Structure 1
Amino acid sequence: MRSFEFESWDAGRVQVNKEFAPILSRNGLRTFDALMNYSGGQTAKNVLAERVTTRIDLDDDAGRTHAFYIKRHTPAPVKEYLKAWSRFRKPLLSARFEWEAILNFHAVGISTMIPVAYGERGRYSFLVTESLEECSKLSHWVRDENPDEEQLEEVVKQVAEITRTMHRAGMHHQDYYLGHLMLARTATPRTIHVIDLGRVLKRPRLHSRWIVKDLAQLNYSARMLDQKYQRVFVEHYFQRPKEECDRSLLNRIEQKTEQIARHSKRHAL
């Protein structure tokens, strides 16, 4: 569980983690405009024109270089609002939602990105996080590292505990695939960080449909693993033998997994 202290800059338009205030100040990034319009760095993700993520390197007073990611939101097309409203859902089109999710994850002890700065003005917003260095996506780790049974079981139990903690806190991810779980390559024990929290929602009471969606996404992305690891996950997540788990709920997870598989095949995802 980790907490942070923040400073308010630029007439309240920017919130800054005090730990990173000196390096942002040193690099002239003290205002909303300076951060929103920063032209340095390399594009890391540009799937949507209205939401672009850039990796930036900044030097501190001692000459050390630190890596960050800045995700900038510009006004989304009207259709994105209509799509959300047509499903009776809140449009999640601001960096504020991911900023709040990051803080909520840290508050319940789930490791994720370190928040550096957040700013919002009208329909424009940004989020800055510290880069997670020396980490691998779990999907790549499983595919490329050839982990042994003991390592796999340990990681599966960790993921189950993270997922259980998230759901017990009333939060659901909505993009809960192995590619959004980062495994530290050097730390002992090997920490798992949950990333891409832009669609995370926190609810007073988490309906089973959202639990099913998260677990089905995870199940689909872990389909390359032996079925015995599915049992390990289920029993650790539900804290009981698989035979004593809610059979109807498990069936719904399997049905949703198959639905995701059909959708992915149809759209070549």
Structure 2
Amino acid sequence: MELYLRGDIEQAWGDSDPFQEVEKLQGDIYRNKEGRVTLQTQINGKSFFVKIHRGIGWKEIFKNLLQLRLPIIGASNEFAAAEKLAALGVDTLTTAAFGKKGINPAKQHSFILTDDLSNTISLEDYCADWKNNPPSFAHKKALIALLAKVSRIMHGAGINHRDYYICHFLLEKNSLADLSSPQCYLIDLHRAQLRKKTPQRWAIKDIAGLYFSAMDIGLTKRDCLRFIKIYSGQASLKNLNVSFWRAVNDKALALYQKDHGQPSPCEKWW
């Protein structure tokens, strides 16, 4: 068994079994399927989000494996990814409690409780009208730089997200007082993978997903090249791994075609 309780949660639950306390939590349910429930809840008047994994069963595990997908069997990856990203200086989920018990992956019981990032707006919602009402150049440049930096740190540390879209970045509203210095939290880490080094194909998948999710907000080719330079850590575009970025571009364009049934409004980079 693995268990972590922050001081406020340890005090709230006392000597009770944390796994039983988690199951008593009630609130607004955001997801309840495939052995996982996600809900917003209150503990001593403070808002939290909790994900409870109750085991997905061998049938679901084999189904995922046959589809060449890694099954999500518990909260361990999300906990580990959040802790590592925070240690790297990336704004992300703050874990208040985590627990895991059971060896059988099909029946493993686990949970992760995180602080509610209440004063935020997803980048998907925040940028939705950019095409019609563009932001200032400095603000857009700052956000692009932030996402490129987070992506570079994450992949450089051996983490890939697997659900890497702008909707999974939450913009802190208080940071909008200074548009040149936005603050975003990276969330939904339950599918994240942690290794010593991020395989190129998974880095491509992440960046392509991020680009695909931002294709309707009015990005220009210059915006994309700015992201590429920062992510690559190159002062010039001459030394880029062009095959990597072609793969990112092609995958993002294909995702858009598949999802929207029409070509992307964004042009090819090369």
- Normalised to the residue count of structure 1, the TM-score between the two structures is 0.83
What is aligned with 1:176? 164
Contiguous gaps of at least 5 residues in structure 2: 103-107, 262-270
Q: CA deviation at 1:16?
A: 0.5
Per-residue CA deviations over 1:176-226 (Å, capped at 9, x if unaligned) read: 000001110103643111000011111122221111101100110110232
1:38 aligns with 2:24: yes
Q: CA deviation at 1:243?
A: 4.2
Work out the CA distance in 2 between the residues paired with 1:73 and 1:157.
Answer: 35
RMSD: 2.2
The more displaced of 143-152 and 186-195 is: 143-152
The alpha-carbon distance between structure 1 residues 141 and 127, as it changes in their structure 2 partners (threshold 3 A), is same
Q: Percent identity?
A: 24
Work out the CA distance in 2 between the residues paired with 1:54 and 1:34.
Answer: 14
1:208 aligns with 2:195: no
The alpha-carbon distance between structure 1 residues 190 and 23, as it changes in their structure 2 partners (threshold 3 A), is farther
Question: The residue matched to 2:196 in structure 1 has which SS?
Answer: coil
1:193 to 185, 191, 194: 185
Residues 70-219 of structure 1: pairs in structure 2 closer than 5 A: 70-86=50-66, 90-122=70-102, 123-144=108-129, 146=133, 147-187=135-175, 189-219=181-211
Work out the CA distance in 1 between the residues paired with 2:182 and 2:12.
Answer: 28
What is aligned with 1:226? 219
The alpha-carbon distance between structure 1 residues 29 and 245, as it changes in their structure 2 partners (threshold 3 A), is farther
Contiguous gaps of at least 5 residues in structure 1: 1-11, 60-64
Work out the CA distance in 2 between the residues paired with 1:20 and 1:252.
Answer: 45
Question: The residue matched to 2:171 in structure 1 has which SS?
Answer: strand
Work out the CA distance in 1 between the residues paired with 2:18 and 2:250.
Answer: 48
Q: Is this contact kept in 2: 1:235–1:242, CA < 8 A?
A: yes
The more displaced of 161-170 and 80-89 is: 80-89
Q: Is this contact kept in 2: 1:13–1:32, CA < 8 A?
A: no
Work out the CA distance in 2 between the residues paired with 1:99 and 1:247.
Answer: 34
The more displaced of 219-228 and 83-92 is: 83-92
1:256 aligns with 2:251: yes
Q: Is this contact kept in 1: 2:97–2:113, CA < 8 A?
A: yes
Q: CA deviation at 1:141?
A: 0.8
Residue 31 of structure 1 aligns with an amino acid whose one-letter code is: P
Question: The residue matched to 1:109 in structure 2 has which SS?
Answer: coil
Work out the CA distance in 1 between the residues paired with 2:215 and 2:100.
Answer: 39
Residue 219 of structure 2 aligns with an amino acid whose one-letter code is: D
Work out the CA distance in 2 between the residues paired with 1:158 and 1:140.
Answer: 17
